[in-house]
Amino acid sequence: MDNATDLINRSGSTVEIDATGVYYRDLNTVLRNVCSGDVERIELRNVCGQRYIGTDLGRQVNIDIHGTPGNDLGAFMDGPRITVRGNAQDGCGNTMNEGQIVVHGHAGDITGFAMRGGKIFIRDNVGYRVGIHMKQYLSKVPWLVIGGTAQDFLGEYMAGGLLVVLGLNLKEGESHKANFIGTGMHAGVMYIRGSVAKEQLGKEVGAVELEEQDRRILGDLVGEFASHFGYDAGHILAGKFTKLVPLSLRPYGRLYAY
């Protein structure tokens, strides 16, 4: 865009970009150009629905977003650390490979869709089909930690990774409302803090007791979550967790194999 320099204010290794009224393609072009240099921190201000912020960025840089980014925040991302000072919309972390997204608010549907690496931390609630098609390869294990609760089809077709739902906004005695949890899941692990009934689970998953290794894993996951949002990790970890695992590595094998 012709007036790209008007959006940018640089101070040392930090760049501030004013996104007021900027078309999403123009904003992302400016962002990619800035990231190609030696900048360490980018402050995006007045963001309002611009899509694909952080898409395809492949180097370590801290990006602070003030406002509400649009769909597919951090899609295919491979390194940056994005912090959202507000809510995120649908598809946050779509197929991200590496890096981190921290959302100080809610996130929409299909958060973490097909993510294959990196970490996503959502302070509050998320929408439907969150964690769908998450996957992992060898030592590359994606993390998705949700502070609130989730809607139906959580962890659908999950093929790897670690998905945690903490239910911190639920009242005492209140259960999670999501149904069809883990439908089609065939790898990975889910940890849900609080009450969830067997009837809410997909037929492909089962609940098992936590082992010592699970408690160590949860200590890392919850500890990092708490450090981002100012929670007491010990208090969170004192709650009751349910571990969900797939009952089969090929839940639909008989439908397609003869």
Q: What is the pLDDT of residue 165?
A: 98
Name the residue among 188, 95, 193 with its Cα closest to residue 148.
193
Long-range pairs of 46-52 with CB within 8 A, sequence gap ≥ 24: 46/18, 46/19, 46/20, 47/19, 48/19, 48/20, 49/24, 49/89, 50/19, 50/22, 50/23, 50/24, 51/24, 52/24, 52/28
Q: What is the pLDDT of residue 258?
A: 52
Q: What is the pLDDT of residue 172?
A: 86
Report the C-alpha gap between 158 and 188 in whole angstroms: 7
Q: What is the pLDDT of residue 69?
A: 98
- Give the fold, CATH level 3, of 4-256: Pectate Lyase C-like (2.160.20)
Query: Count of CB atoms within 10 A of residue 119's CB?
Result: 23
Q: What is the pLDDT of residue 251?
A: 65
- Report phi then psi at 219, rounded to 5: -60, -40
* Contact in structure between 226 and 236 (CB atoms under 8 Å): yes
186's torsion region: left (phi>0), alpha (psi -120 to 50) or beta? alpha
> Hunting for tokens 């009751």 — which residue is that?
240
Local confidence pLDDT in tens for the 258 residues of the chain: 555 556 788 888 899 999 999 999 999 999 999 988 889 999 999 999 999 999 988 889 999 999 999 999 999 999 999 999 999 999 999 999 999 999 999 999 999 999 999 999 999 999 999 999 999 988 899 999 999 999 999 999 999 999 999 999 999 889 999 999 999 999 999 999 999 999 999 999 999 999 999 999 999 999 999 999 999 999 999 999 999 999 976 666 655 555
pTM above 0.95, yes or no: no
Helix, strand, coil: what percent of the chain each, to 5? 20, 30, 55
